[in-house]
């Protein structure tokens, strides 16, 4: 059993949740398709944004999604750190995109900006959970099942 120094059982909350994985796959897929085949994407909002913002948006989705997925599918402490890097990228990207949409479109941009902004909140929540697990790992001791340390 893995215990903290305080005697509390240690449990790592895995990032291998199917919902999270599918959202990260969606980010990576939309990003790659948006970069390689822009005509296949909806241009309702992106047509109102400068070209460089659209390219940064799709590239960020692709890179952030792929980095986060890499962290999800690896194991150990390094995987959590990699996942956090991808989540930071996606958080910054989606908040920036939401802000840019509202700045460029105005009040009509609030609804299209809502989904990316709330996705950023979910990324921050996962980031915080990973950080809490990493901090708890610093305080871990491993005991054998017979109680010996």
pLDDT tens profile 13-60 = 555 788 999 999 999 999 999 999 988 887 776 787 788 988 999 999
In a domain, 36, yes or no: no
> How many separate domains does the chain show?
1
Report the candidate in 8, 53, 20 with the shortest Cα–Cα distance to residue 130. Answer: 20
Is 45 part of any domain? Answer: no
Asked if the model's pLDDT at residue 76 lies above 90, the reply is no
Q: Within 10 Å of residue 143's Cβ, how many Cβ atoms? A: 12
Q: Which domain holds residue 127?
A: 1-9+59-144
Helix axes 110-137, 77-105, angle to 10 degrees: 160
> Does some domain include residue 93?
yes
In a domain, 76, yes or no: yes
Does any domain span residue 73?
yes
Measured CA to CA, the distance from residue 32 to residue 34 in angstroms comes to 5
Nearest to 48 by CA among 89, 118, 97: 97
Q: For residue range 100-146, what is the model confidence (pLDDT) as tens digits?
A: 889 988 999 899 899 999 999 999 999 999 998 888 777 775 555 55
């Amino acid at each position: 059993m893995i215990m903290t120094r305080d005697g509390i059982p240690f449990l790592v909350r895995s990032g291998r949740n199917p919902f999270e994985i599918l959202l990260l796959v969606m980010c990576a897929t939309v990003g790659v398709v948006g970069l390689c085949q822009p005509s296949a994407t909806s241009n309702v909002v992106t047509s109102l944004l400068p070209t460089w913002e659209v390219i940064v948006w799709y590239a960020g989705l692709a890179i952030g999604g792929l980095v986060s997925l890499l962290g999800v599918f690896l194991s150990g402490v390094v995987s959590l750190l990699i996942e956090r890097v991808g989540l930071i990228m996606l958080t910054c990207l989606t908040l920036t995109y939401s802000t840019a949409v509202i700045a460029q479109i105005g009040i009509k941009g609030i609804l299209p900006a809502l989904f990316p902004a709330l996705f950023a909140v979910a990324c921050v929540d996962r980031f915080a959970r990973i950080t809490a697990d990493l901090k708890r790992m610093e305080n871990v001791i491993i005991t054998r099942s017979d109680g010996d340390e």
